[in-house]
Amino acid sequence: MSVDVLTALPALARRLGGADAVLAGAERLSGGASMETWSFSVEAPGAPRRDLILRRRSAPFDPETSRSTSLAAEAALIAAVSARGAPAPPLVHVCDEADGLGECHVTQKVAGETLGRRIVSDPRFDAVRPKLARQCGEVLAQIHATPPPPEANLKTSDFLAELARYEETYRSTGAERPVLELSFKHLKKHAPPPVEPVLLHGDFRNGNLMIHPETGVAAVLDWELSHIGDPAEDLGWICVNSWRFGRPDRPVGGFGDYAELLAGYEAAGGAPIPLSRVRAWQALGSLKWGVMCLMMYMSWATGTEVSVERPMIGRRVSETEADLVHILEAGL
C-alpha cells in the first residue's frame, strides 16, 4: 500500500489537536530502512505547540515470519517499561484505519541527540559522556526487570538459537566468507550456558538512544526488535564495535567502559553478568550485523529494494570480519 504521509498528516494533526489544529512542519528523518520516522508538529489556537514523532512501517509486515514486533506491540512495550522507570518516548497515539497512514504510532519528541557520531565526539556531550555507560547499565536493568506485556506476543530466543538462525540466513545468501564461517563454528563451540530469559530491548545501541547533553540517556527508542532472551544479549549489542563510531577504545557505544556498564547494571538491581558473557554476545552481535549487511545487499540484488543504500551496506561486512578476527585473536 502506497501512502503519501505528507497528505495524510494534516488530518492526523486535527485528530490529535482538535478541529482548529494545523500541521506545522513535517519532515522525514534520515536513516531507517524498513521503518520510516517523521518529525512533525501540531499547532492549535491557545495551546502550546506539540513536537511529535511518527514511526511508520514502510515495508510489508508478516507477524509470523518477521523478527519485528508490530507497532501496537511497540506501544505496549513503551508503556510497560515506562512503568518500571525506564526512559522511553511517551506514547501519544496508535494509528488506525481512519488515519490512512498504514501501521504507525505517534510519540512525543524527546529533546536530545541520537546520532552516534555526535554523541561520541561532539564537545557538547563531553560533560555527560563519562556517565553514559553506567546509565545504560541502569536502564537495561530496569528493562530486564519488566514483566513482558502479553499483548506484545514476543518471541523467545537464546545464544545457540540466534546463532543457528543467522547461520541459516548466511547460507541462504550463497556468500563464502571465511571469517564468518570460522565465527559460526567457534561461537557454537564456545556458547555461554543458557540463563533464565528476560524482556530484552533487542536493539540497544548507540543510535537508538536519545542522549541529552546535560542529563544523558533521555529515552530508549525503536522497540521493534524486542524479544525475550539472555540479558547479556542487550549488554553485548551496545558493545559491538560497529556502533562505537570511531572509538574502539571505548567499548560501550564509543563512550564508556565495560566495567561502568556492568556496575550500573548491578547497582540498579540487575543480576551480575560476567564480562566473558558480554564479550561472547558482542562477538555474536558483530556476526549478526555482518549477516544483516549481507541480507540488505541481497534485498537489492533480488530486486526487493532499489535504494543505493542497500548494495553499499554489503560492503560493511568486512568491518564485522575485522572486528571478529580481532575478538577471536584476543580469545573468547
Partner 1 sequence: MITHPRTEELTEAVARWVDSIRPQLGPREAFLARVAANVLGVVGRELTLGPAAQAAATDRLIVLLDHGGGYAELNSELCQRLREGTMDATTPGLLAALKANVLDQLAIDQPNYRHE
Q: Under the rule (CB under 8 A), what is the footprint of partner 1?
A: 27-31, 176-179, 181-182, 185-186, 241, 244, 246-248, 286, 307-309, 311-312, 315-316, 318-319, 321-323, 325-329
CB neighbour burial string for 234-267, b if at least 16 within 10 angstroms, e if fewer: bbbbbbbbbbbbebeebbbbbbbbbebbbbbbee
* CA pair distance 134, 265, nearest whole angstrom: 7
Greatest alpha-carbon span in the chain: 64
Report the residue number, 81 or 163, with the smaller CB distance to partner 1.
Answer: 163
Distances (CA, A) of 48 to 43, 44, 45: 7, 7, 8
Report the residue number, 47 or 59, with the smaller CB distance to partner 1.
Answer: 59
Report the residue number, 98 or 330, with the smaller CB distance to partner 1.
Answer: 330
| Residue ranges with strand state E in the chain | 22-28, 35-43, 50-57, 91-94, 104-108, 198-200, 209-212, 216-220, 227-229
CB of 262 to partner 1, least distance (A): 19
- Contact indicator for 89, 110 with CB cutoff of 8 Å: yes
Report the residue number, 31 or 274, with the smaller CB distance to partner 1.
Answer: 31
Q: Is 26 helix (H, G, I), strand (E, B) or coil?
A: strand
- Contact indicator for 149, 79 with CB cutoff of 8 Å: yes
CB of 317 to partner 1, least distance (A): 8
Report the residue number, 51 or 151, with the smaller CB distance to partner 1.
Answer: 51
- Contact indicator for 242, 316 with CB cutoff of 8 Å: yes
The x, y and z cell numbers of residue 162, run together, are: 540466534
* CA pair distance 255, 247, nearest whole angstrom: 8
CB of 136 to partner 1, least distance (A): 19
CB of 330 to partner 1, least distance (A): 8
CB of 220 to partner 1, least distance (A): 23
Report the residue number, 81 or 317, with the smaller CB distance to partner 1.
Answer: 317
CB of 299 to partner 1, least distance (A): 15
CB of 169 to partner 1, least distance (A): 15
The x, y and z cell numbers of residue 28, run together, are: 522525514
Report the residue number, 130 or 311, with the smaller CB distance to partner 1.
Answer: 311
